[in-house]
Each structure stands twice: as C-alpha cells, then as structure tokens.
Amino acid sequence: MMTEAFWKTKRLEDLNPQEWESLCDGCGLCCLNKLEDWDTGEVAFTSVSCRLLDGTTCRCSDYPNRQAIVPDCIQLTPQEVHDITWLPPTCGYRLVRDGEDLYWWHHLISGDPETVHQAGISARGRTVSETEVHVDDFEDYLVDWPLTVGKR
Ligand code: SF4
Ligand code: SF4
C-alpha cells in the first residue's frame, strides 16, 4: 500500500525535525536582502545576498554560528512561516502552508538536490554579496526572479 507523502498530509506544526529540514529546497532565496516600502509595506527582492550565503551552493557557509554573525537571520518556525509575507512562491514551507504540492524540481520529488538549480529556481550564480555593495545602493539590485515560479 502506498502512503501519502508527509507534506501532503501533515501541517507544518506536526512535522518532525527531519521532515521540517527536508522541506527546504536549498534555493537560497530567503537569504537575499529585501527592501520594504515604508508606505505600502511591499517587499521587493534584491540580488544582494547575505554575507554568509555561498552564491554557488546556495547554502549558508556557517549555519551553526549564523545568528552570532547575522543577528537578523530568521530562524523559520511554523509560526514564522504563517506570519512572513515575503517567502518566495516556490518555498517548500510556503507551499505546504498554503496546502500546495511541491514542484517537480524539489529534492523530495526529484530525489536530487541539484534539480532546484537546474530548473533555474535557485539563487545560484546570480547574486552579489552584501560585503561588496553599500546598503544605499541595494535598490540598484532589485530583481523579480525570486518571485518566478517554474512549470509544475
Ligand atoms: S526560500 Fe524556503 S525553500 Fe528556499 S532556502 Fe529559504 S527556506 Fe529553503
Ligand atoms: S546567516 Fe545564513 S541562513 Fe541566515 S540569511 Fe545569511 S546565509 Fe541565510
């Protein structure tokens, strides 16, 4: 008998730690700096990455110590996933939050952590580190590709 995939049957709150971690597709998009319009609250992505993001692997280069180095790094929790409005539409946590299935390129579907990059979803190769850009110039790096959704 086939069992349904956990992300289709469980709420975020009910995932065990291993399931929770596996929902991240490794896109790196949440590690990009964002600009918020103070009047409208609208959030826009930039291609300027957090200083700890490895622009090739799209992984945090010092995950265990990240919060000592980047104090505003967000530790995603079910509550955070419900509250944050800017998670990219491809984010595994957002999809499960919204009752949607994962995309074909998610490693839990494809079995391959490289497919998120091959599908052009991730930040691989298209970021610049915040160590190289003055914060006043971030608006020159506004991008809309973190909001792009590939084919199902
Ligand atoms: S946007 Fe979501 S899926 Fe992508 S790296 Fe961040 S938490 Fe993981
Ligand atoms: S500290 Fe690591 S996990 Fe946090 S935003 Fe930066 S690269 Fe991402």
pLDDT in tens, 28-41: 999 999 999 999 98
Q: What is the whole-number distance in angstroms between the Cα of residue 31 and the centre of ligand 2? A: 5
pLDDT at 149: 81
Contact 62, 69 (CB under 8 A): yes
Please name the residue that has the structure tokens 């991730």: 122
Q: 52 in ligand 2 pocket by Cβ < 6 Å?
A: yes
**Backbone torsions φ then ψ of 140, nearest 5 degrees:** -75, -5
Which of 22, 24, 34, 96 for mutating ligand 1's site (highest number of atoms within 8 Å of CB)? 24
Q: Tens digits of per-residue pLDDT, 99-136? A: 999 999 999 999 999 999 999 999 999 999 999 999 99
* Global pTM value: 0.94
Ligand number nearest CA of 127 is 2
The pLDDT mean for the chain works out to 95
